[in-house]
Amino acid sequence: MNSGFLKRCDYFVFIYLLLATLVAEAGSIPDDMVAIPAGVIKWSGKDISVSKFYMDKYETIQQSYKMITGKNPSYFKGSTRPVEKINWFEADKYCLRLRKRLPTEWEWERAAQLGNKSKFSIKIAESYGWFKGNSELMTHPVGQKKKNLYGLYDMTGNVWEWTSSDHESGGKVMRGGSWRNSANSMRPSKRITSLPHYRYHYVGFRCVVSIELKTKFRSVRTKYANRH
């Protein structure tokens, strides 16, 4: 096959992945990511500062995971349902392949704000996500419930989400609640832990991009374009 053609294909694939996963110039962001402003999370009497970052608007769906890895281990099949039965290592690897990463649990909590100052209730849980009381004990296609304060979907319920953070008692922290848990598990501050090699049909993930990567990848894109 013509080497020039292969180079052009390689270039277009590179640009596609870049535009799909990284912050564009002029401060814009990909359609599938949302800007989360810097802020402070209060936890255990401490203030934890969180820098601005970008987070996937939706939980990683089965179609996207299969397109990148060639696999779909999910128990509840459906192209737009969240991928599950993914261990922490597999989730981390997927994000890295897209030049992204898993969020810290503090980034996750910062992004999970519901935008409702009233006391958390079952009614609020029903509006924002799928849990034991309304899920019919299964996952659901992403984006069907109300989006939160920052425009993110399914930050509460559907599936727990892996984070990059280590739990103080061991394992990795997961956030968000799931289809099999009570409404109480959907509180943004709720956290559980698991050893990273375990897989569950109620745990998935989504990825983030750090704001400081914007300049780095802009220079990479320019360098790559100049070579072709």
Q: What is the pLDDT of residue 9?
A: 45
Q: Which residue has the tokens 């128990």?
A: 75
Kindly report, residue by residue over 122-181, the tens digit of the pLDDT: 888 999 999 999 999 999 999 999 999 999 999 999 999 999 999 999 999 999 999 999
Q: What is the pLDDT of residue 28?
A: 53
Nearest to 202 by CA among 32, 64, 86, 29: 86
Cα distance between residue 72 and residue 66, in whole Å: 5
Q: 156 with 126: CB under 8 angstroms?
A: no
- How far does the chain reach from its first CA to its final CA, in angstroms? 18
Cα distance between residue 71 and residue 141, in whole Å: 18
- C-alpha distance from residue 11 to each of 8, 56, 71, 191, 214 (Å): 5, 24, 25, 41, 19
Which residues have C-beta within 8 Å of that of residue 10, sequence separation ≥ 6? none
Q: Which residue has the tokens 């299969």?
A: 66
SS3 at position 154: coil
What residues of the chain score a pLDDT lower than 50? 1, 5-7, 9, 12-18, 21-27, 214-225, 227-228
SS3 at position 82: strand
pTM over 0.75: yes
Which residue type occupies 142?
V
Q: What is the pLDDT of residue 10?
A: 52
Q: 106 with 165: CB under 8 angstroms?
A: yes
Structure token digits, residue 164? 């990059």
Q: What is the pLDDT of residue 13?
A: 45
